[in-house]
Chain A
Amino acid sequence: MSTVTWITARGLFGRRRFLLLLPLPLVLLGLAILCRSLGVDPGEWGPPVLVGLGLAVVLPVVALIIGTGVLGAEIDDGTVVHILTKPLPRWQIVLPKLAVAAGVTAVTVAVPLYVAGVLADSVRLGLALAFAAALGALAYSALFLALSLVTRRPVLLGLVYVLIWEGLLGNFVSGTKVLSIQQYVIALADRLAPSGLLETSVSVPVASVMTALVSVGFTVLAIDRLRSFSVAGETS
């Protein structure tokens, strides 16, 4: 494991904000188990729990907390200087951090989604949801990591994207769905396991290409921004 990965992981798990990650996946899991045990028709609880909660809230919010934490937290408290004063090409800083963010997000979200998918329909749907969520975790992490280098308020901007753009506008202006990671994830999951529970509005080729574009594009942006990262003078 590289040193950057090690420091990032320790920084992530060593902070209390890591505990924020736990409730959302647990709620998702709890709701799925509850609905299943009460014998509710999966056609009724599947879409709101799997999509409305799992893919629209749990995945982006967990990705937001982690994605802005791996680098943004270090920028906030100034410890980023220690990593930046090393003769490392900047991609060697961004890629390990992205890997930690995407990996932790994927594990945190994919596991409850897998269980919920199995309970709603089949193992195939569970696997499809988990796999699509992992890809989504990568795209979201790249986006939020880049955001923490572009702005001083990455969490706020990230929330605006998730809640306003993906959550609100997506319902009224269908065109915005083409630029919505959430829609890519739904499209990919539905393609892998057609079940009738997931409603897609983006075609699978668009979703695949856009997921790749978002992941690569924002990673490249993050590397470039880190290359010309300015440390603002502290006023004392």
Chain B
Amino acid sequence: MSTLSLTGVSRWYGNVVAVNDISMALGPGVTGLLGPNGAGKTTLLHMMAGFLAPSRGTVTLDDEPTWRNPDVYRRLGLVSEREAVQGFLTAYEFVLASAKLHRLPDPAAAARRAIDLVELESAQDRRIGTYSKGMRQRARVAAALVHDPQVLLLDEPFNGMDPRQRLHMMQLLHTLGDAGRTILFSSHILEEVEQVSGTVQVMVAGRLAASGDFRTIRRLMTNRPHVFAVRSTNDRALAVALIAEPSVSGVELDPTGLTVRAGDYGAFTRALPRIALKQGIRVRQLVPSDESLESVFSYLVEA
């Protein structure tokens, strides 16, 4: 069991503050680090992984600083966001090289176990250069897991993965978390982390904006007001029918169509087809018009 602690950590580049006074302690289990692009997630992860010195504050792994201390990598694994692998190696060679660099007693067995864990054995003898993005990601996870670290940090691990791979990766992270490992992954897509249990840390503009149980934050997320742009064969009739719906809090009619404000995402999207069918109106377009991450996150911050 290892604990990664951050105390009053800030990092600035010149006049730009990338990470602003963040304190947290990460223990065993899966933690999600969420935030829009540019919130400072990667900077924070790099400081955790010892790739960047905090301008102020301390980052410690079991009371040892991670900066300028290569020994922490015995207990810490990092999967960086940048998809950088030596494409001329096969996955097995790549993971084996990692195992050897860790000076593991039986590198070949460790490499095979790690490749097994990410289900890459069927492709392990192909050059990584020929892999798909998701496979490459798994090869990198295998390399980071080869020494069975207590702490695993993943920067945007679900980028470029299809839903099945994402689910599998999530299961893998949870298996590791349940086994007492400390797992932290970052993501800027809220929907990506739906299956996550445990805690999340939400970062906005360099600050820790929310922190706590995922379900609480998830409820805040789904219950926030949503704005949709709707176009149909009879906008006016649809507007009349929609305003009677409890989940709809406002309808605006303009020449291009309807702007509908819904209080509850799920209830509205279920109600719309039913109403349209009943009224005999054909819906031509339904576009969520306020799904930008920044608005979701700023809503979270206000809540």
Find chain B residues with CB under 8 A from A89 CB: 70
Find chain B residues with CB under 8 A from A234 CB: 42, 81-82
Q: Mark B144-178, 1 if CB is under 8 A from A, else 0.
A: 10000000000010000000000000000000000
A236 touches B86 (CB 8 A): no
A14 touches B88 (CB 8 A): yes
Q: How far is the CA of A230 from the CA of B53 in the complex (A)?
A: 8
Contacts of A155-214 to chain B: CB distance below 8 A: none
Q: Mark B57-93, 1 if CB is under 8 A from A, else 0.
A: 0000000000110111110111011101110110000
B143 touches A82 (CB 8 A): yes
Q: Mark B134-145, 1 if CB is under 8 A from A, else 0.
A: 000000000110
B101 touches A227 (CB 8 A): no
Q: How far is the CA of A104 from the CA of B43 in the complex (A)?
A: 37
A101 to B: closest C-beta gap in Å: 18
Stretch at the interface among A4-12, A61-69, A143-151: A4-12
Q: How large is the interface on B (under 10, 10 to 19, 20 to 34, 35 or more residues)?
A: 35 or more
Q: Could you tell me the dominant secondary structure of chain A's interface residues? A: loop
Find chain B residues with CB under 8 A from A79 CB: 84-86
Q: How many residues of A contact B (CB 8 A)?
A: 29
Contacts of A56-94 to chain B: CB distance below 8 A: 77-79, 81-90
Q: How far is the CA of A171 from the CA of B74 in the complex (A)?
A: 53
B68 touches A228 (CB 8 A): yes
Q: How far is the CA of A6 from the CA of B4 in the complex (A)?
A: 33
Q: Mark A1-38, 1 if CB is under 8 A from B, else 0.
A: 00110110011001000000000000000000000000
Find chain A residues with CB under 8 A from B51 CB: 81, 84, 229-231
A87 touches B98 (CB 8 A): no
Verify if B193 is at the interface (C-beta below 8 Å from A).
Answer: no
Q: How far is the CA of A201 from the CA of B144 in the complex (A)?
A: 53
B52 touches A231 (CB 8 A): yes
Verify if B26 is at the interface (C-beta below 8 Å from A).
Answer: no
Find chain B residues with CB under 8 A from A228 CB: 53, 67-68
A81 touches B86 (CB 8 A): no
Find chain B residues with CB under 8 A from A7 CB: 86, 97
Q: How far is the CA of A235 from the CA of B39 in the complex (A)?
A: 11
Find chain B residues with CB under 8 A from A86 CB: 70, 73, 98, 101-102
Interface centre among B72, B82, B89 (most CB of A within 10 A): B82
Q: Mark B7-46, 1 if CB is under 8 A from A, else 0.
A: 0000000000010000000000000000001100011001
A-B pairs with the 5 shortest C-beta distances?
A: A78-B84, A231-B51, A86-B101, A78-B82, A14-B88
Residues on A lying within 8 angstroms of B by beta carbon are: 3-4, 6-7, 10-11, 14, 77-79, 81-90, 227-231, 233-236
A selection of 24 A-B contacts at a CB cut-off of 8 Å is A3-B100, A4-B101, A7-B97, A10-B89, A11-B88, A14-B88, A78-B84, A79-B84, A81-B78, A81-B82, A81-B84, A85-B144, A86-B101, A86-B102, A87-B73, A228-B68, A230-B46, A230-B53, A231-B52, A233-B46, A234-B42, A234-B81, A236-B37, A236-B156
Given A3-B97, A86-B102, list of 16 further CB < 8 A pairs?
A: A7-B86, A10-B86, A11-B88, A14-B86, A78-B82, A79-B84, A84-B70, A85-B77, A86-B98, A87-B74, A228-B67, A231-B46, A231-B80, A233-B42, A234-B42, A234-B82
